[in-house]
Every structure is written in C-alpha cells, then in structure tokens.
Amino acid sequence: MHTSLLKYINGHTSSVLSSEEVILIESVFKPKKFKKKQYFLQKGDVCKYYAFIVKGAMRQFSVDDKGTEHIIHLSVENWWVGDRESYTALTPSVYNIEAWEETDLLTITKADFFFIIDKIPAIALMIRTMDQRNFIANQRRLNSSISDTADKRYEEFERCHPEFVRRFPQHLIASFLGITKSSLSRIRRLSLKKTV
Amino acid sequence: MHTSLLKYINGHTSSVLSSEEVILIESVFKPKKFKKKQYFLQKGDVCKYYAFIVKGAMRQFSVDDKGTEHIIHLSVENWWVGDRESYTALTPSVYNIEAWEETDLLTITKADFFFIIDKIPAIALMIRTMDQRNFIANQRRLNSSISDTADKRYEEFERCHPEFVRRFPQHLIASFLGITKSSLSRIRRLSLKKTV
DNA sequence: CGAAAATTTGACATGACTCAACTGGAGTGG
DNA sequence: CCACTCCAGTTGAGTCATGTCAAATTTTCG
C-alpha cells in the first residue's frame, strides 16, 4: 500500500530513505478507502487530512450561489488531495472533495505532517519540490485562463492531460476549464471538423 | 536598505535571526535600482534573480500572438518578483517583468538562495509560509476566474486590494482580471450607478 | 502649454451562456 | 432479455456579456 508513496518520495528527492524513516512514514500515513461519490471533504468542514492517492480519481469543487459546481482540481494516482487553506489554517473549507472512482488514499494529519517535515529532510525537500511544481502549474493555468480562448484552453488541456480526458466525463472537464458542457461540446464538434 | 527584508523574514517566522544570519542575508541579497519602464526580466531570457521589493511597483506579463499583453502579477513593497519556473529550471522565461514605478529591489541568485535555505532555518520556514500563501492566493484567483463574472471579480479585487486600484492604471487591472479596459470601464460605470 | 498616456464611449460583432429537448449508452432489476 | 432509469453528451434558439476597433475626451506630467 505504501510503496507507491515511497517511490514518489524517492522520485522527488534523489536522496534515499533510511529504514527508520520508512517506518516512520508508514506509521503516519493511514490508508483509507473511498467508494464512488463518497466525500473526502465537505464544504463547511475543516480539512483534517491531506492525502496521497494510491489508486483512483477524485475531484475538488466549489458550489456557487446558483448551485452550479465549479471544478477546482481533478486528481488521480500519485497526486495529492486536500484543501490546503483549510488544512493549515484550520478554517472551514469552501470546497468539496469527492471520490470519482473507487479510491485508495494514504491520509496524514497536519501534526504528523509537520512532525515528519522536521524529522525527515527528504520530506521537507519533497514539499518544496511539490510546491514548486504546483506554483508553476497554477501560474500556467491562470495565465491561460486570462489569455486564451476556450477552444485553446481545451486544446492545451487535451495535449497535456490526455489521461484525464479519457478518465473524467466531459462536463467535469468543461467545468475545470471554466466553461459549460454545452460550449465544450460545440468546441469539440468544430475542432473535429478542422482535423477531418 | 535590508531592514524591510529582515522585518519581513521575522514577521513570517516568529523566530529571531542571529547576527551571523543577518550578516549572511545581507551579503547575498544585492540591492538594485530600476527606473520606470525598465525591465527586470525579458521574455526569452533566463530569470537569474529573484527579488524582494523594498520600494516601488512592478508588473509581470505575457504577450500573446496578437501582441496583446496579459498581466500575470502586480507587485509592490514587501512582495517578491521573479519567474519561478525560469529561475529554478533555468529555462527561458515566457514572461516579462517591468518596473512600473521607480523601484528598489534586493536580488538573490538561485545558488545563494539554496545556500541560505540550508544554512538558515528561518529562511526555509519563510519559504514554506510564502509558498503556502501563494498557493492559497492562486487557488482563490483561479476559483474566481472560472466561477465569477467579470463584475464580481472586479468588486472582489477592489475590496481585497484597494491600494492596487490607486496605484496601477485601470487598463493594467483589467488585464490582470482577464478583461479589456473597455469592459472594465463599463463595469465601473454601471457599479457606480448602483451605489449612487 | 503640449505630448503622451489613460479612460470613456459608441456601434457592431461574436463568443459563451441558458434552458430545454433529444439521443444514446450503461447499468439495474424484474 | 427487456424495460427502465440514470447519466452523459449533443443540439437549437434566443439572450447576454464581453470583445473589437476607432474616435473622442480627460488626465498626467515634463
């Protein structure tokens, strides 16, 4: 169960974990299973766990006044889920996180996370690397959301995340891109004509 | 010159810097002055320095195929500037960073930054805190960019960053929000009527 | 004052949304 | 195996928000 996490850590740090470190890591990351449609976090609750996805797929979304859902993140194996704002500040979250498929998680509390950051240099380094990548990814997404038209954004998304296109239904991807499912459907029809 | 940076670090970490640490910090952060419209980073160049703004205001923007500029960040005193992707990966940047006012920076190279992160625990902690805040801010901006209408986004921006509204011309703010200056002008006119 | 920059405005084009209806699978239970 | 439901995706018609482009106006600043 923990092997994919250990692989992930090693892959992100180039240093090798000692066996004591491995034991410590395995003790603080608790496995949990989620069924389809089961909530990992509900709006209004504090996000008590951050989690590494061993297997499965999840979505994080907000709901506006009209009741429309807006996808903030889509995540699959070897990604992290959780609402960082709520997790660190202990404030009620404005997001929901839900399993989209049968999902296996490794969850960790804030206290444990801080603990292993101090104890295990590789973890501290991993966090920095993750933040790094996250920062860059967010920057790009933001840039494209203010600079590009909807069809370019979809094209880009398809190019960068083909596995997501296969795995998540179209209306979730539309929402992720900030457009409606109807619009995405039309965009796809038009772009098909071009390639044919 | 360095006092505002030292204050910033102390403010973000709760631990107090030793005098050796202060000396080290002062030795790696080199002051630089920028005149209005002077570039700190040009598209195509590698971002060799990250910088803390002591005084002044800067903007980071991309330019699309049509030659239109898109504001990615607006920053003032006590903020950081630089293209993190280029800075850490040493790849050519796709962004430009320009002084919008007469600006004083404290610049640091990647090597020095890594060095002090290892040497000074408070710096490592500060980075984590910064990343944290950044992550949250980006998440919010992203959420609002896919969820909210243009007028809501502006309203929110005005509420959260009144100093920016005073300091940067309207067309930059429009670009930051992902709309045109014409649209923003109209949005403002309409919202004025409401309040009157 | 005069030039450059910023903002406003108008007319028009267009992209995206809304809402509702329809189609087509996928799964389920009788 | 069929009927049924649920969910995803498509489509059409009408509407609305925002973009485009250019000109007019106001502000800023040397």
Binned at pLDDT 50, 70 and 90, residue A7 comes out as very high
Q: Is nucleic acid strand D under 7 Å from A167's C-beta? A: no
Measuring CA to CA, how many Å separate A38 from each of A68, A74, B18? 19, 15, 50
CB contact under 8 A, B72 and A139: yes
Length of chain A: 196
Q: Is the Cβ of B10 closer than 8 Å to some Cβ of chain A?
A: no
CB-CB neighbours of A48 under 10 Å: 14
Which residue in B55, B1, B6 sits closest to B30, CA to CA? B1
Residue B85 CA to nucleotide C21 C1', Å?
48
Same domain, A103 and A14: yes
**A33 and A108 in a common domain:** yes
The answer to whether some atom of strand D lies closer than 7 Å to the beta carbon of B11 is no
Answer yes or no: is pLDDT of B194 > 80: no
Answer whether residue A143 is part of any domain.
Answer: no
CA-to-CA separations, A160 to A137, A154, A165, B92, in angstroms, rounded: 11, 10, 10, 20
pLDDT attached to residue B196: 54
pLDDT for residue B12:
85
CATH number, residue B78: 2.60.120.10
Residues A90 and A155 in one domain: no
Query: B15 φ, ψ to 5°?
Result: -85, 155
Number of other residues whose CB lies within 10 A of the CB of residue A89: 14
On whether both A84 and A176 belong to a single domain, the answer is no
Q: Phi and psi at residue B178, in whole multiples of 5°?
A: 85, 25
Band of residue B195 on the pLDDT scale cut at 50, 70, 90: low
Structural domain tally of chain B? 1
- Taking residues B109-137, report their average pLDDT: 92
Identify whether residues A41 and A109 lie together within a single domain: yes
Residue B160, in any domain of the structure = no
> Over 80: is that where the pLDDT of A192 sits?
no
Of A176, A97, A115, the C-alpha closest to A144 is A176
**Tell me: the pLDDT tens digits for B14-62?**
778 999 999 999 999 999 999 999 999 999 999 999 999 999 999 999 9
pLDDT for the residue numbered A150: 93
What burial class does residue A127 get, using C-beta atoms within 10 Å of its C-beta: 0-12 exposed, 13-18 middle, 19+ buried? middle
State the pLDDT at residue A1.
80
Phi/psi of residue A65, nearest 5 degrees: -55, -35
Confidence of residue A195 (pLDDT cuts 50, 70, 90): low
Tokens of B36: 């209005």
Residue A139 counted as domain residue: no
Alpha carbon A76 to chain centroid, angstroms: 7
Whether residue B192 lies inside any domain: the answer is no
Q: How many CB atoms lie within 10 A of CB A168?
A: 20
pLDDT in tens, B134-183: 899 999 999 999 999 999 999 999 999 999 999 999 999 999 999 999 99
B64 domain residue, yes or no: yes
pLDDT at B141: 92
The residue-averaged pLDDT of A117-139 equals 91
Asked if B143's CB is within 8 angstroms of A72's CB, the reply is yes
| Any domain includes B42 | yes
To the nearest 10°, report the CA torsion of B138, B141, B147, B153.
180
For residues A118 and A190, state if they share a domain.
Answer: no
Q: Which domain holds residue B31?
A: 3-122
Q: Please name which of B3, B95, B11 lies closest in space to residue B54, comparing C-alpha atoms.
A: B3
Say whether both A102 and A154 belong to one domain: no
**pLDDT band at A12; cut points 50, 70, 90:** confident
Predicted TM-score (pTM) above 0.85? yes
Please judge whether A145 and B145 are an interchain contact, meaning their C-beta atoms are less than 8 angstroms apart. Answer: yes
Q: Is residue B191 part of a domain?
A: no
| Residue A13 confidence (pLDDT) | 83
Looking at the fold, whether A174 and A102 belong to one and the same domain comes out as no
Of the candidates B5, B1, B3, the residue with the CA atom closest to the CA atom of residue B116? B5
More confident residue, A11 or A82: A82
Tokens coding A125: 């380094």
